[in-house]
Chains A and B, each alone.
Chain A
Amino acid sequence: MKFLKKIIFFYYREYKLNMSGVQDILTNIVFFFLSVFIFIFSIGPDKETISTVGVAIVWTLLLLSSTLSLRKFYQDDFENGNLLIIHLNGFSFGFITILKTFSHFLFVQVPFLLSIPIACILLNIPNDKLLYLFTSFGIGSLTLSCLGSISSSMNLMNQRNFLLGSVIVMIFSVPIIIFSVGIINMAQNFNSLINILFGILLIVFAINPWASGLCLKLSIENN
């Protein structure tokens, strides 16, 4: 019961932190919409062309804008020492990464879920594909959160090369992009592709506590 209380307090703290910095999340969404506009301007206003590449554009931009907020995944807590305090309160490093992954999913990825329908209207994507887009993004965004946890914990001690974290996320998210765009474009294969996407999620979810926990431990020990 005490442990559950601690988890609830952890999420309350995350909620407070994210609400005090709500402009960051809003900036992500503004970045997403601006990139959609820029894509439309560069392709041209032809409706046919836009609706064929629309799904791919939405997915690519979701990936890019979710990598924008990677720096504050662990960095702030690491630098002001909160990570160590949470660990001393009885959470193992692996468990912290799981909690943090879900908090990143809740506070950064879910706002994108709400902004997808507007992007669909702008990009002229037919309504029947919206369900597939939601399903694939629901699974894919949790996978992206896990990947973000791995890459941002790897880069805690990296003071020179800030872009490396985004590159690591992008290289591992190639299969997610392939299969999720595949789901939307070939709707008859829905079940098998969803299973593959779910399998990728489970693999990444299993690797995540080990890899990011080890990296957090390393960085805290050697700081």
Chain B
Amino acid sequence: MKFLVNPSKFNEIADYIFKPVLVLSILFFALGLLFSFYLSPDDYQQGSTVRIMYVHVPSAWLALLTYAIMTFYSIAALAFRMPFGFIFNTAVAPIGAIFTLICIISGSLWGKPMWGTWWVWDARLTSVAILFIIYLIIIFINLSFENRVVREKVVAIFVIVGSVNLPIIKFSVDWWNTLHQPATISKLAKPSIDPSMMTPLIIMTFAFMMIGVAIAILRIKTEIISRKSNLS
């Protein structure tokens, strides 16, 4: 597992796994879209709009997961002086921002027919919007510092301080009475979702994960090269 902390080891492994991951993501996307459009039933209340879930939920999970991994890498990078964590932070922040944006846009497209409004100021929606702004600030910090050593450490500190938002997002549906429904899948008890809807959701989650990993590999490799040539 050394390739997760060592840039040159990462380059070796990434060359091997990039194409398989890309092919896997295309396969999963094809299978997942087939399942979610044709092989899964309509909801008895929501009708066909329930299919938005197969884009909305995976992107939301991955937005949170990306930030959580960034937090772990920032702590490790500051504690063990591990430069790969800084490379990871710089490379992956835009991917997380895009996942959050997909989640917000698909959510508001789903909210218009179901709740009757594009946007409500409820706890879950607000905290996800704040997550999006935190991602944007990380990108802005990356763009606005001249000195690379200061920049990457400031980004890491900001990521750690901003990670207080993650538990707020996760538990916002339990702590406050919100319009957004509480967790149906990621809870300790048995998931309260039918297996016929669970299957496409899982497949789409894997598809999103694979495409995220593929783009992350590309961006991390670019970042390593630009550091070696001392471009930024």
Chain A residues packing against B (C-beta within 8 Å): 150, 154, 157-161, 164, 167-168, 171-172, 174, 203, 207, 211, 214-215, 218-219, 222
Contact = CB atoms under 8 A, between A and B. Distances in A.
A164 B154 contact: no
A73 B193 CA distance: 53
Contact of A164 (B126, B141, B157, B161): B141
Nearest to B126: A174
Interface stretch (B95-103, B143-151, B222-230): B143-151
Contacts of B70: none
A83 to B, nearest CB: 15
Contacts of A215: 153-154, 157
A164 B164 contact: no
A172 B161 CA distance: 9
Contacts of A160: 144-146
Given A168-B158, A171-B130, A172-B161, A157 B137 contact: no
Nearest to A210: B157
Interface in B85-143: 126, 130, 133-134, 137, 140-141, 143
Interface residues of B, number: 24
A174 B157 contact: no
A215 B149 CA distance: 11
B146 A207 contact: no
Contact of B150 (A171, A203, A219): A219
Given A157-B146, A203-B164, A218-B150, A171 B157 contact: no
Contacts of A222: 147, 149-150
- Tell me which of A159, A167, A218 has the highest count of chain B C-beta atoms within 10 A of its own C-beta: A218
Given A207-B161, A211-B157, A159 B146 contact: yes
Contact of B161 (A158, A174, A211, A219): A211
A214 B153 contact: yes
What 5 A-B pairs are tightest by C-beta distance, nearest first?
A: A161-B144, A160-B144, A157-B150, A154-B154, A222-B150
Nearest to A150: B161
A171 B161 contact: no
A211 B156 CA distance: 10
13 contacts: A154-B141, A154-B154, A154-B157, A157-B154, A158-B141, A158-B144, A158-B145, A172-B161, A207-B161, A215-B153, A215-B157, A218-B149, A219-B150
A153 to B, nearest CB: 9
Nearest to B145: A158
B137 A164 contact: yes
B158 A154 contact: yes
A219 B147 CA distance: 10
